[in-house]
């Protein structure tokens, strides 16, 4: 099930959706398997979780994230 559909279900069941979610799901993610950028809204939840974990484990991204946190703290 894609993210757009899941958010519609959440909204229909009365769950409050943060106002920035539309902007967030309109962002794109580069899909290596498709060799193109795809909107996050169109990603299947399983693909989104795998992509997130792949990015999370990428050492360069982790280092950049750590550097950003350090700058915010200082």
Q: By the 8 A CB rule, do 29 and 51 touch?
A: yes
Burial tier of 32 (Cβ tally within 10 Å: 0-12, 13-18, 19+): exposed
Mean pLDDT of 61-66: 73
Q: Where are the domains of the chain?
A: 3-73
pLDDT in tens, 18-58: 999 888 899 998 888 889 999 999 999 999 988 888 877 67
Among residues 53, 43, 50, the alpha carbon closest in space to that of 1 is found at: 43
Q: How far is CA 3 from the centre of its chain?
A: 9
Dist CA 65 CA 74 (whole Å): 14
Global confidence as pTM: 0.67
């Amino acid at each position: 099930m894609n993210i757009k559909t899941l958010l519609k279900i959440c909204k229909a069941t009365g769950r409050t959706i943060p106002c920035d979610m539309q902007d967030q799901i309109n962002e794109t993610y580069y899909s290596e398997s498709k060799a193109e950028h795809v909107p996050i809204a169109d990603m299947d939840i399983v693909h989104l979780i795998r992509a997130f974990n792949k990015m999370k484990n990428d050492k360069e991204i982790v280092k950049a994230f750590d550097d950003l946190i350090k700058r915010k703290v200082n």
